[in-house]
Amino acid sequence: MIYGITDLTTYILGTVFIVLLPGPNSLYVMSVASRWGVAAGYRGACGVFAGDAILMLLSAGGAASLLKTTPALFLALKYAGAAYLTWVGIGLLRSAVATWRGRGELAPEAAPDASRPFRAALVISLMNPKAILFFVSFFIQFVDPAYAHPELSFLLLGAIVQICSAAYLSLLIFGGAYLAQQFRRRRRLAAAGTGSVGGLFLGFGAKLASASLG
C-alpha cells in the first residue's frame, strides 16, 4: 500500500482503460483542435482538467456517499447523463447523414460554443456521466479509510488521472488536424466515421441508463 492507496497497479490499469474509452470530452477536444488548431485544443483540454479536478474534490468530499444514500438524486443524474449522451449521438448521426449527402461539416453538434473552448469543455466535463460514475464509484474505492492522511491518497490518484488524460488528449489534439484534412478530402469516409461515433454514443447512453453505483 502506497500513501493509503490499496491497489495502485489495478487503479492505473483501470484508469488507462477508462480514459481511452470514447467520451464527449475527447470528442470535443479533438473537434476543437481540428477546427482551430493545437492551441485551441489545449484550451479545451484545460477545461477538461478543471472539470475533472472539481469532480475529484466532490468525490473526496463525500459526494459518492450522498449519491448512494439518495437514490433519487443518483437516478436523476444517471438519466440526465443518458439523455445527454443520446442527444449527442443523435446529433452526430444527423451530421453524418448531412455530410454523406454533401451538406454540413464534420460533427458540428460535437463542439458547442467552440469559440470559448475552455468554458465549453469545463461544462461538458462536469456533465460527462462517464467521469461522474468514475469518480463516485471507482476513484474512491482505492483509498484506505484507515490511512491518516487521505488527502495525499486523493492527490496521488488525481494526479494519475490527469497525467493519463493529458497524454491521451495530446494525441487527439495533434492527430485531430491531420485526420480532419483526410476527412475533408474523403467526405463519405468522414460521414461513416461520424456515424460510427454517433452509434457509440447511443450505446453509451443505453449502458448508462442501466448503470448502478454498485
**Are the beta carbons of 33 and 41 closer than 8 angstroms?**
yes
pLDDT digits (tens, 9 = 90+) for 65-115: 666 667 777 777 777 767 776 776 787 688 777 767 765 444 444 444 445
- Which range in 3-7, 98-102, 179-183, 197-201 is most confidently predicted, on average pLDDT? 3-7
pTM of this structure? 0.68
CA–CA distance, 199 with 86 (Å, rounded to integer):
9
CA–CA distance, 135 with 126 (Å, rounded to integer):
11
Q: Is the confidence at residue 172, as pLDDT, over 80?
A: yes
CA–CA distance, 21 with 207 (Å, rounded to integer):
13
CA–CA distance, 87 with 71 (Å, rounded to integer):
24
| Cell numbers found for residue 87 | 442527444
CA–CA distance, 132 with 187 (Å, rounded to integer):
35
Angle between helices 117-127 and 38-60 (to 10 degrees): 40
- Domain assignments of the chain as residue spans, ordered by start: 8-209
| Cell numbers found for residue 37 | 488548431
Mapped onto helix, strand or coil, the DSSP state of residue 101 is coil
